[in-house]
Amino acid sequence: MTASVKISPSILSADFAKLGEEIRAIDAAGCDWIHVDVMDGHFVPNITIGPAVVKALRPHTDKLFDVHLMISPVDAYLEAFAEAGADIITIHPEAGPHSHRTIQAIKALGKKAGVVLNPGTPAKMLDYLIDEVDLVLVMSVNPGFGGQSFISSQLRKVDAIRKMIDQTGRDIHLEVDGGITVDTAPLAISAGADVLVAGTATFTGGPSQYAANIRALRGE
């Protein structure tokens, strides 16, 4: 692995009592992006944060905010998260009836658009979306909670999507989220991922360990 692999720590595993400090700490520790998991208790069985928290965190770092919307219906909230400071907004095809239109709406807001595939969602879902997106996120756990174990069957999906991306000739990021550790990170990279979301693996041990954790995920 090389430094070209981007590490996007999920703040779902941060200390929510001091999120601003945690954001500054992972920034200083060398993360590339910051992954913001937004859950509504409806599309997924958990509730996290809304656009007001994203807006409050935005002044604490210049790093790219990679905002994963696990909310349904999703379209009504795109503008709020764009205004709050999201740089990339990723949506699930199942979270609204017209995913192509949703992607167009994100881009019209001046943001990069991504599509998220759950473990049970096939790569084929991308057939008529791949030319529109800037990022594909493959969930290697079922969304809703941090700290779950990596679902190895998703490696085949990552490999298939890497081939799809390469065929487009476009610069599309391929991100993997869920159960990423020093053991599973190399597997995801080998399958074709270039961005890794890591919550528990980044935040374990407290701020003094964040830089070492990030380096370990890169294989440095």
* CATH fold of 6-218: TIM Barrel (3.20.20)
Active site residue 15: no
pLDDT at res. 2: 43
Considering 87, 134, 177, 183, which one is annotated as catalytic?
177
Strands 6-9 and 88-91: unpaired
Respond yes or no: is residue 177 known to be catalytic: yes
- Rounded-to-integer distance, Cα 30 and Cα 79, Å: 29
- 3-state SS record for 159-205: HHHHHHHHHHCCCCEEEEECCCCCCCHHHHHHHCCCEEEECHHHHCC
Q: Is 145 annotated as a binding-site member?
A: yes
Reported as a single tens digit per residue, the pLDDT across 118-173 is 999 999 999 999 999 999 999 999 988 777 899 999 999 999 999 999 999 999 99
Per-residue pLDDT, averaged over 3-20, amounts to 93
The response to whether 20 counts as a known ligand-binding position is no
Residue 4, annotated as binding a ligand: no
The Cα–Cα gap between 28 and 73 comes to 35
pLDDT of residue 34: 98
Q: Assess whether pLDDT exceeds 90 at residue 1.
A: no
Tell whether 205 is in a known binding site: no
Q: Which of 111, 159, 101 is nearest to 135 (CA)?
A: 111
Q: Residue 145: what pLDDT?
A: 78
